[in-house]
Amino acid sequence: MNLPNEFYRNRKLENLVENQTSYTLNNAALHIFETHEQAERVLLQFDKPVLASMLKGKKIMHLREKQSFNFLPGESLILPSDELMCIDFPEAQANNPTQCLAMAIDEDKIDKVLEHMNELMPKADAGEWSLMDYNFHFTNDVGIYQILQRLLFLFTENHPSKDLFVDNMLEELIIRILQTNSRKIYTEQSFNLSSSNRLAFIVEHIRNNLHNSLSVKNLSKKACMSESNFYRVFKNELGISPTDFINNERIKLAVSLLQNPNKSIKQVYQECGFESRSYFNRVFKSRKKVAPGDYQSKLNVSA
């Protein structure tokens, strides 16, 4: 993710550690932090919910009720209001600064989006959308990456209508983040939730039957829902279609199986439930940007 040229033209470099450039609009404020020298235990706190996203370099985050972890480019973190961050910058240099964005979003704006989601995108089993109240660390998918890149441009642009533009982008960003969080919860806690939640039951069934044929028609029957309603609710809650979710899980399994140099590509795609090598190759390459055979070969060379 790149900072727009407009940012560099207007920003003032006043501090070597967490130099802050801020842009404030009606419902959100965007802060760009740059650190040009190594530092430890730098404290930072916001009075609103914050999306932090790494642009360049590496941070080590120390958060309340969470183990310390590396924070790297392409990753984001959702923080509740008043969360105290303690940050290390082990690799920051004058000619290679760490860069991170922090977007503080008004809670009224978030509440309006949640109200809209609960009205138009109701969750399965009468659940309600709500803002996660813990530190959610995730890798940006393509959709979130593109929104953040667009927001960087909009905040730094001198345009009379940028408040309106940003408002629309914020709504989509909040929805996508909540869907990403929901997808993570269902994936990591599907077993515990499966007895009381239909989608969790379906996720658990998918993960236990990747080697078998899995169709939206049969999954909807297991969920006791019509096919169209199942597809809609699944995509609303997890942010992707059932077929894309199945393929993502199959590719995760394929990556694990390809660690074994004695596994043939045919064995791998059959164990993952793909019906043909050509379809497996296409799906694998779309996710990993490399063919499965080349991926396995690289693993063997580096082993």
Residue 18's domain is classified under what CATH number? 2.60.120.280
Domain extent at residue 176: 5-181
Do 147 and 17 lie in a common domain?
Answer: yes
The model's pTM: 0.86
Last-in-domain residue among 131, 153, 181: 181
Bridge-partner residues for 219, per DSSP?
none
CA 117 distance to own-chain centroid = 19
Residue at 127 is within a domain: yes
- Predicted confidence at residue 297, as pLDDT, reads 87
Same domain, 242 and 172: no
Residues 75 and 51 in one domain: yes
Q: Please indicate, yes or no, if residue 187 is contained in any of the structural domains.
A: no
φ/ψ (deg, to 5) at 130: -150, 155
pLDDT at 126: 72
136 shares a domain with 18: yes
Q: What is the pLDDT of residue 211?
A: 93
Assess if residue 186 is contained within a domain: no
Close Cβ partners of 227 (under 8 Å, ≥ 6 residues apart): 216, 217, 220
Which of 181, 204, 231 is a domain's end point? 181
211 alpha-carbon distance from chain centroid: 27
Tell me, what's the pLDDT at 300? 74
Alpha-carbon distance of 34 to 42, in angstroms, equals 13
Counted domains in the chain: 2
**Per-residue confidence (pLDDT) for residue 133, from 0 to 100:** 66
Residues 258 and 284 in one domain: yes
pLDDT means per 10 residues in the chain (303 residues)? 88 93 95 97 94 96 87 95 94 95 95 93 85 84 95 93 94 94 89 85 94 94 94 94 95 94 92 94 93 87 61
- Asked if residue 189 is part of any domain, the answer here is no
